[in-house]
Amino acid sequence: MDPPPTCPNCPERLLWKDTRETGPGKEDSWFWFCTGCHQAYVPTPDQKLRFTYAA
């Protein structure tokens, strides 16, 4: 499994896949979240493809 990307603002931190808004019957609208600077980032189309079904 590929590691998640690093935060553009905090290069020493990996981004977390935030799936709080996803679930059965909901649109797949997850995003990346940094626990350092608390920024959320929209995944690129390539990242959506690679990480959609990753835990």
Per-residue pLDDT of the chain (55 residues; tens, 9 = 90+): 788 999 999 999 999 998 887 777 667 788 999 999 999 999 999 998 888 775 5
Give the span between the Cα atoms of 6 and 8, in whole angstroms.
6
Give the total number of structural domains in the chain.
1
Give the span between the Cα atoms of 5 and 54, in whole angstroms.
13
Residue 12: which domain range? 1-54
Q: What is the pLDDT of residue 49?
A: 87
pTM over 0.85, yes/no: no
Q: What is the pLDDT of residue 54?
A: 59
Give the span between the Cα atoms of 23 and 44, in whole angstroms.
20
Residue 13: count of CB within 10 angstroms of its CB: 14
Q: What is the pLDDT of residue 38?
A: 96
Q: What is the pLDDT of residue 24?
A: 72
Give the span between the Cα atoms of 1 and 26, in whole angstroms.
25
